Structure 1
Amino acid sequence: MVMKDSRQMGCLFHFDNIFAAKQATFGGIDLFQIGEICCECGYEVRAHNQFCLELSCIVSGSGYFYIDDTCIKVEAGDIVFNSIGHRHEIKTDRTNMLRFVYMGFNFNEQADKEFAEMLAFFQSAPYHFSKDTHNLLIPFMRNIDEFYSQKPYSRIMIRNYFEEIIVSAYRSFTEKADKILQYASERSPHSVGQTVYAVIRYIEKHIFELGSITELAIKLNYNSTYLSHVFKQRTGMTLQRYINHKKIEKSLELLKYGNLSIKQVGEKLGYETIQSFSKAFSRIMGYPPSRYVADQRGQE
C-alpha cells in the first residue's frame, strides 16, 4: 500500500491510499484506491482513462466531473459512479472549492450473484449520477478512518463498510430509475412512449426545480441530445418549448390561486428577473402577466 498526504499546487489536502493489484481484496471486492481530496478554486484532476470502477461522494463545494464528452455539475450531497474504459476529468468551480471522497475498485470472482447484478448495472452506462439518498458518506468516512487507524479487526470492518457503500450507492441510483419506470408503467397504450412519458411526468412533478435541458437529462439518466430528439420526434414540440409552456401554465394557476405577486411567481418558476418572466409569459399568452392579474381581479 502507498499512502500519500500531499499538498500540491491548488490542492488543500489529498489523503490517498493506493494498492497494487490483488494487494487489497475484501471478499468480492478488489480495492485499488481510496481517499479524500480538497481542491482549491480552479484546480483540475487531469483527464485519464478509467481502468477500474470508481465511486465519488461530494462532501462540500462544487465542481465539474467530465465523462467522455459529458459535463456533470456536482455539489455537496451528490454521488458519481464512473465505469471502466471511459475518459474522466475533474475541474473545481472557479468560485468554490471542491472536497470529495472516492474509491476505485473492481468486483472479483468471489463476488456473489447480488454483486454480479450490481456490476451489470454499474457498467450499463459510462456513468451514473444521483443525490446521496442513503447517506453513504458516513460509511465512506468511517472506512477511510479504518485505513488510517488500523485498529483490531479493521479488515472485517473495511469489508463491511465497502459492501454498505456499494449497496447504498446502488440503491440511490436505481431508486431514481425505478421512479422513472413507475412514471412509464402508468402510461396508457396510446401515450407517446416510455421515455417521453417519463420526461413529461418528471416535468410536471418538478416544475419548480427545472434547470437546463442538460441538467434535466442528467437527473433522468439520459443523454440530452437523445432526449431532445426523441421528444421532438414523438410530440412535434421541442422539449424547451414544452417546458416553457408548462411553466406558464403553472404561472396562471399561481397568479390566480397562489396569492403571490408577479415577481414571486417568476422567481418560484426559476426566472432570473420579472422582465424575463413577463417576456416568456407574453410570448405564449399574447399579453403580459399584469393584464392577466388585472383581468382576474376584475372578475372577483
Structure 2
Amino acid sequence: MFQYRADQLFSRNESITIQKTRTSGTEAVHTHDFIEIVYVLSGDGQQSVNGLCYPIQKGTLLFINYGQTHAFSTKTSIEYYNILLKPEFISMELINSENAFELLALTAFEEFRSLNPTTPFVSFSGKELLEIEGITDAMHREFKAKQTGYQSILKGYMQVFLVHILRRMQLANESSPVSSSPLTPDLLAYIEEHCSEKITLPELAEQCFYNPSYFSRVFKEYSGMSLTDFIQRKRIEKACRLLQDTDWPIETIATDVGYGDKTQFYRQFKSYMGATPNQFRRRGS
C-alpha cells in the first residue's frame, strides 16, 4: 500500500496545500501522514475509508485523518478539491475554545455512521452548498496566486470553513426536521454542466415538480440569488477556469461559456471579478 508523505506534496514553509483534481475509475488504496479534506464538486461514486465504503456526490465533504487508508472508486469522472493540512496547521490558533479540538477527535468515520450513515462526513445542499463552494474556490485562487499574506488569509478562510462543517455536523445530529431544499446536488450539477446553454426556468422547475413561479421564489430563498444571477455566476466561474488553464482567445471563451455578445461578457466578468478578462489572465500567469 502506497503512502503519500508531506515532504512530497508540500512546498517549503507551507503547512497547507490546495489542489483541484479530476479523476475516474478506481485509484489505489493509500494513506498519508497529513490531514486531507475532500470536497466533491461534480460526479459521483464511492470512497472507501478503512475498509468501509461511502457514497459520494456533489456537495459531499470528507475529513480524512492521517494514517487512514482510503481510495476513490467512480464509474464517471469526478472533480474535487483536496485541502491537505499538516497536523500543526490545525492548532488552537485555528480551532478556538468554542469549537474546541473535538473536530480532530471526530474524524474517525465509525463515529459518524450513527449520525449520518449515508455519508462519511457531511453533505451540503442549497445555500450552504453555494457558500462552501464560494469558500473553496476563493481558497484555491488564493493558494495559486500566493500573494503577500496568503497563508494568513487561508487561515481565515479555514476558520469559516470549519464552522460550516461543525454546524452541519450538529444539524445532522439533531432530531428536529430540517426543511427540504429544491437545490439538490443533482440539480445544481445540471445547471453547472449546462450553464453555457439556454436553460429555462420551466425546464428546471419541471425537474423539481414545482410550477415555475414557485420554483423561482424558493430558488432565490435557498440560494440567495435569482436563477439568472446563479447561471451568470457559473458562466463567469467557467470563464475563469478557461482563462487560467487555456490560451484560448477571450472571444472564444466568451462564446464557449454562453455569451454571444462580447461586450456583455466583458461587462459581466468585470462586475463579478473586479477585473477585465485580460487582467485576470495576467494575474494568474
Which entry has the higher C-alpha Rg, 1 or 2?
1
Higher strand share: 1
TM-score between the two structures when normalised by the length of structure 1: 0.46
